[in-house]
Amino acid sequence: MVHLRRKILSFSGLLNQLQPNVRWSSFLKIRDKETVQPDRTFKYSDLSVRLAAPHQLQPKPNVSELGFGKYFTDHMLKVFYYEALGGWQIPEITPFENLVLHPAAKVLHYAVELFEGMKAYRGIDGKIRVFRPEMNMDRMNASALRSGLPTFNGMELIKCINRLISIDQEWVPHLEASSLYIRPTLIGIDPTLGVATSDSAMLYVILSPVGSYFKHHEMNQGVSLLADPRYTRAWPGGCGDRKMGSNYAPTIHVQKEATEKGLQQVLWLYGEDRQLTEAGTMNIFLFCINDQGDKELITPPLNGLILPGITRNSILTLAKEWNQFKVSERKITMAEVCQLLSENRLLELFGAGTACIVSPISFIEYMDQSFYLPTLDHTEPIFRTLLKHLKEIQYGYVDHPWAFPIE
Ligand SMILES: *Cc1c(COP(=O)(O)O)cnc(C)c1O
């Protein structure tokens, strides 16, 4: 069990560069920031580790069979929160195991639950890197505030997660296009049926080796979307801008309708003017020639309807740095998409998120009409350039402060 005999990691220095809860307030657009109390937290220094016995270790699946979220590593992280015991308890790494919950646990009735999705990548130098984890921590705390669940110090969780990854490091795939998906989860576990703040909670983190989210042909042909204005994913004053489980269950039926029509994802519209908000669980980007005749990259603004994606933020930052075309956060309507298409000014439409990174869109079905998009018809589309740059950072081809080596 060579991979279990690991030296204790030293995170000093690198970790000090990251300051969750400070830097990204504009990214998250939360006003209740100050109610995250970084001192009321569990601590990495209290972490206890119980390793799996040799007979508990699972065989590692073949990289070609990975899919998304089907296999899990040998260990997990758990931290309980009990108001009556003073709040957060000590974090523990344990063998991967089932949870035991009271049947009245709030998570099971009122979906008091939130999650994060981030990835660790094995670089060309063999080092494992996590991409902008401090942003996931801030977003997780923002979701916790909206759910009445306890907040914590993001840096402490990053350190615990890094230790977990280090223990299960043999599970980080060696093939590019594959990675280790990290799923932090926070659930309310009070065994009482009142719709109220949960005085007890459980934070846990599981790891899953994943292949590429979309199949190869989807990357070369682009994904197809169903845009049905009868359905909406998020609304003003709601919590579509938080990664809460309750946002996703109602999308499954609509996704099924898309699948039955032979389409791959749902294009989520909002409002009388049918604004494009998201594609499946991805943020959406439009690249076009605008009314002034200039090239412009557009994504909807963080107005409460949009999940503040870390990929979205990274793409906006890179594109602004390149300074080769206009970059805007503004509303996009279906009318505008149709007009741009009819005037041959729509160049590319693509989704962005941790699971797929960047995903070209080549078709939309809207009001029983078919719209073919020329996203894949260009020799050097910007979605490919963006994807290449992000991968170079994630897989360590270039040194970049966004990629955070765990050893
Ligand atoms: C997670 C998610 C995204 C993408 O966010 P990333 O931080 O880039 O992974 C976009 N939209 C929705 C609805 C999501 O759940």
Best of 138, 284, 354, 386 for a ligand 1 pocket test (most atoms within 8 Å of beta carbon): 354
Residue where one domain finishes, among candidates 211, 236, 263: 211
Q: Do 137 and 86 have their domain in common?
A: yes
179 and 235 fall within a common domain: no
Q: Which atom of ligand 1 is closest in space to residue 136's alpha carbon?
A: 7
DSSP characters over 89-145: ---EEEE-------TT-HHHHH--EEE--EEEEE-TTS-EEEESHHHHHHHHHHHHH
**For residues 137 and 154, is the Cβ–Cβ distance under 8 A?**
yes
Q: Identify whether residues 241 and 174 lie together within a single domain.
A: no
Are residues 287 and 151 both part of a single domain? no
* 231 in the same domain as 201: no
15 in a structural domain? yes
Residue whose CA is closest, atom 10 of ligand 1? 282
pLDDT at 392: 96
pLDDT higher than 50, residue 157: yes
CATH of the domain at 48: 3.30.470.10
Q: Where a domain ends, among 211, 230, 257? A: 211
| d(C-alpha 304, C-alpha 275), whole Å | 13
Tell me if 243 CB under 6 Å of ligand 1: yes
| Per-residue pLDDT reduced to its tens digit, 205-235 | 999 999 876 565 556 789 999 999 999 999 9
Q: Are residues 231 and 306 in the same domain?
A: yes
Of 146, 176, 211, the residue at which a domain comes to its end is 211
pTM (2 d.p.): 0.91
Indicate the number of domains in the chain. Answer: 2
Residue 247 sits in a domain whose CATH number is 3.20.10.10
Domain residues for 273? Answer: 216-393
E strand or H helix at 224: strand 223-227
What pLDDT does residue 405 have? 93
pLDDT band for 358, please (50, 70, 90 cuts).
very high
* Mean per-residue pLDDT over the chain, rounded: 91
Q: Which range, of 61-70, 166-175, 203-212, 343-352, averages the lowest pLDDT?
A: 61-70
288 lies in the same domain as 269: yes
Same domain, 230 and 144: no
Q: Are residues 15 and 106 both part of a single domain?
A: yes
One domain, residues 311 and 333 = yes
104 and 159 housed in the same domain: yes
Query: Is the C-beta atom of 242 inside 6 A of ligand 1?
Result: no
